[in-house]
Amino acid sequence: MTRPLRLALATAITTLTGACMDMGNMDDGMMIPEVIEVDASEGPFQPTAAPDLDPAPNVVEVALEAKVSDIEIAPGRTLSMWTYNGQLPGPRIEARAGDTVRVRFKNSLPEATTIHWHGVRVPAAMDGVPAVQSPIAAGAEFTYEFVVPDAGTFWYHPHVRSDEQVERGLYGAFVVRGDAEPATTTDRTVVLDDLLIDSSWQLGEFDPMQAMVGRQGNVILTNGWAHPIVEVARGGLHRFRFINAANARYFRLALPGHRLIQIGTDGGLLPASREVDELLLVPGERADVLVVATGEANEAMEWTSLRYDRGHGTGDLPDAVVFQMKHGSDAPITTPAIPDALVPIAALPEATVQREIKLEESMAMGGDHGAGHGSSMSSDMAPVFSINGQVYPDATPLAASFEIVEEWSIVNTTEMDHPFHLHGFRFQVVSVDGVDPGVVAWRDSINIPAEKTVKFRVRLEDNAGTWMFHCHILEHAERGMMGELEVAAP
Ligand code: C2O
Ligand code: CU
């Protein structure tokens, strides 16, 4: 059955200003709508778990194949996507902290790829970046193997031509459980994404003009489905592990009428739960949230992404529905106690090394920097992104030593926000625009607001190698806003 699709025509959302022209997209002379609303429907809510192919305890072996597949994202709407195992998102990898994870990977895509384990502290050789691994050619195989040291909500995705490969559908959740997991009624993974589709409901063209604000989609996907419904037991305490896998979209999540109880960030559980009305989740970032399902039987509530201004007119886009949470018809069950203390985290000591990382943007002639993008650029000016004056890969790696605590000041010199991500280590934010965030938490991804500075501390543990840091708006990363940290024994 095909349900009606309401197309909000671009003309209805023409209040975008100035530099934001680049958010509109042409499709055979027709404007592609900036928002496509899809009615709620039953979809596959939870990503399927990858079967563990190794019977040994403490070893998780998973087979992943990257390939082109047809994927249904709404009733009757099927797109040709790039997938892991023919699924969107890819299979959810599940392990316990301390396990060895082995991933037998086969690349059946038409081009080379890698897999990066975002947020998992792996040895550098397993990090899946071109600096340490030549991309796995079309038709080739590679086995990734590493120990997962930390519990938390992580994810995986390619690290070559990531702006296009991730947009095409290559991403999956990676959940590592520890000994201190709170007792909840449910524990679900929610992978958020958006796709830019054209008037024939296929992926729209990859146009260098999308680089400025990143490729913001017009259809929001929750676990690979547009506007799915998840049924929850009334009274229950429901855990949602959110992952933002979108190229560029900021999700400012809220559930009207409900408080959100955040229990975890990128790097696992917080020391204590905290109640919030909304939660900003930038590309690459994760958050673990508990919700008590209060309300009437059969009541339907919409998880919403509130409008957010990250620069260049993005604040003019309307609020967007993400997915629907629907109460069951049964009487409320007993709500499990909301855990208060979770996992203690010691604050890192004063740093002995300080660094300044400046995020910059400029316009250049024919400047579609970065490999492999169509040269269909007709206008002469294009944005170029850089860090400390260097456009990756033409960048000098930063040198660092083991066991040193460093303090990084990430200075955003631009008029838009950038989500900053560091590989291999986890950090603690100590100030955002001079203000102490008031929570000690492990992170690997953090928003750097426009024209503001965020400081974090990181202990560079004994993990030698080359580690990337970059903006997680993938169009920015692939056009120069990326750098390398070389960590070695002192
Ligand atoms: Cu999720 Cu270097 O990336
Ligand atoms: Cu950026």
The pLDDT of residue 274 is 96
Q: Is residue 450 part of a domain?
A: yes
Range of the domain at 449: 353-487
**CB of 160 closer than 6 A to ligand 1?**
no
| 118 Cα nearest atom in ligand 1 | 1
**CB of 239 closer than 6 A to ligand 1?**
no
- 143 and 197 together in one domain: no
- 380 and 319 together in one domain: no
State the distance from the centre of ligand 1 to the C-alpha of 118, rounded, in angstroms. 6
Whose C-alpha lies nearest to ligand 1, atom 3? Answer: 118
- Tokens standing for 260? 């959100």
Q: 476 in helix, strand or coil?
A: helix
The β-bridge relationship of strands 219-222 and 418-422 is unpaired
State the distance from the centre of ligand 1 to the C-alpha of 112, rounded, in angstroms. 17
| 477 Cα nearest atom in ligand 1 | 2
- 430 and 478 together in one domain: yes
Q: Is residue 104 part of a domain?
A: yes
Neighbours of ion ligand 2 (CB under 5 A): 418, 471, 473, 476
- Nearest bound ligand to CA 283? 1
The pLDDT of residue 365 is 75
- Checking if the pLDDT of 201 tops 60, the result is yes
- 125 and 144 together in one domain: yes
Spatial separation of the C-alpha atoms in residues 145 and 91, rounded to whole Å: 17
- 118 and 194 together in one domain: no
- 216 and 322 together in one domain: yes
Nearest CA to 62 out of 87, 85, 96, 86 is that of 85
**CB of 421 closer than 6 A to ligand 1?**
yes
Give the count of beta carbons closer than 10 Å to the beta carbon of residue 447.
22
Handedness of CA 305, 309, 313, 318 (dihedral sign): positive
**CB of 116 closer than 6 A to ligand 1?**
yes
Spatial separation of the C-alpha atoms in residues 324 and 304, rounded to whole Å: 9
Spatial separation of the C-alpha atoms in residues 126 and 95, rounded to whole Å: 17
- Nearest bound ligand to CA 467? 1
State the distance from the centre of ligand 1 to the C-alpha of 366, rounded, in angstroms. 27
Q: How many domains does the chain have?
A: 3
In this predicted model, which residue has the larger pLDDT, 490 or 379?
A: 490
The pLDDT of residue 382 is 84
Whose C-alpha lies nearest to ligand 1, atom 1? Answer: 118
Q: Is residue 332 part of a domain?
A: no
- 194 and 306 together in one domain: yes
- 313 and 359 together in one domain: no
- Nearest bound ligand to CA 156? 1
Q: Is residue 51 part of a domain?
A: no
98, containing H or E segment: none
State the distance from the centre of ligand 1 to the C-alpha of 162, rounded, in angstroms. 9
The letter for the amino acid at 3 is R
- Tokens standing for 170? 């290559």
**pLDDT tens readout for residues 341-363:** 899 999 999 999 999 999 999 98
**CB of 468 closer than 6 A to ligand 1?**
yes
Q: How confident is the model at residue 271 (pLDDT cuts 50, 70, 90)?
A: very high
Q: Is residue 141 part of a domain?
A: yes
Q: Is residue 341 part of a domain?
A: no
Q: How confident is the model at residue 260 (pLDDT cuts 50, 70, 90)?
A: very high
The pLDDT of residue 30 is 60
Spatial separation of the C-alpha atoms in residues 445 and 273, rounded to whole Å: 20
The one-character DSSP state at 316 is: G
- Of 156, 177, 198, which residue constitutes the final position of a domain? 177
**CB of 159 closer than 6 A to ligand 1?**
yes
- Tokens standing for 113? 């790829």
- 19 and 143 together in one domain: no
- Checking if the pLDDT of 372 tops 60, the result is no
State the distance from the centre of ligand 1 to the C-alpha of 249, rounded, in angstroms. 15
SS3 content of the chain, % helix, strand, coil (to 5): 5, 45, 50
In this predicted model, which residue has the larger pLDDT, 335 or 1?
A: 335
Spatial separation of the C-alpha atoms in residues 385 and 138, rounded to whole Å: 29
- Of 124, 152, 177, which residue constitutes the final position of a domain? 177
Q: How confident is the model at residue 377 (pLDDT cuts 50, 70, 90)?
A: very low
Spatial separation of the C-alpha atoms in residues 126 and 101, rounded to whole Å: 11
- Checking if the pLDDT of 26 tops 70, the result is no
- Checking if the pLDDT of 440 tops 80, the result is yes
- Tokens standing for 115? 């897999």
Backbone angles phi, psi at 476, to 5 degrees: -75, -45
State the distance from the centre of ligand 2 to the C-alpha of 419, rounded, in angstroms. 6
State the distance from the centre of ligand 2 to the C-alpha of 173, rounded, in angstroms. 23
Q: Domain with 460 in it: what CATH number?
A: 2.60.40.420
Q: How confident is the model at residue 47 (pLDDT cuts 50, 70, 90)?
A: confident
- 33 and 164 together in one domain: no
Spatial separation of the C-alpha atoms in residues 152 and 121, rounded to whole Å: 11
- Tokens standing for 461? 């543990």
| 468 Cα nearest atom in ligand 1 | 2
- Tokens standing for 213? 């604000």
Q: Is residue 50 part of a domain?
A: no
101 Cβ contact partners less than 8 Å away, ≥ 6 residues apart: 59, 60, 61, 62, 93, 95, 144, 145, 146, 147, 148
The pLDDT of residue 22 is 39
**CB of 471 closer than 6 A to ligand 1?**
no
In this predicted model, which residue has the larger pLDDT, 363 or 432?
A: 432
- Of 154, 177, 200, which residue constitutes the final position of a domain? 177
- 383 and 476 together in one domain: yes
Q: What is the chain's Cα-based Rg?
A: 21
Look-up of token digits 């790097």: 267
- Nearest bound ligand to CA 117? 1
Spatial separation of the C-alpha atoms in residues 416 and 464, rounded to whole Å: 33
363 Cβ contact partners less than 8 Å away, ≥ 6 residues apart: 381, 382, 383, 384
Mean pLDDT of the chain: 91
**Reported pTM:** 0.92
Give the count of beta carbons closer than 10 Å to the beta carbon of residue 302.
16
State the distance from the centre of ligand 1 to the C-alpha of 238, rounded, in angstroms. 28
**CB of 170 closer than 6 A to ligand 1?**
no
The pLDDT of residue 169 is 98
Q: Is residue 34 part of a domain?
A: yes
Spatial separation of the C-alpha atoms in residues 368 and 480, rounded to whole Å: 10
- Checking if the pLDDT of 136 tops 70, the result is yes
State the distance from the centre of ligand 2 to the C-alpha of 481, rounded, in angstroms. 7
- 192 and 317 together in one domain: yes
Strand partners, 203: 197
**CB of 197 closer than 6 A to ligand 1?**
no
The pLDDT of residue 45 is 86
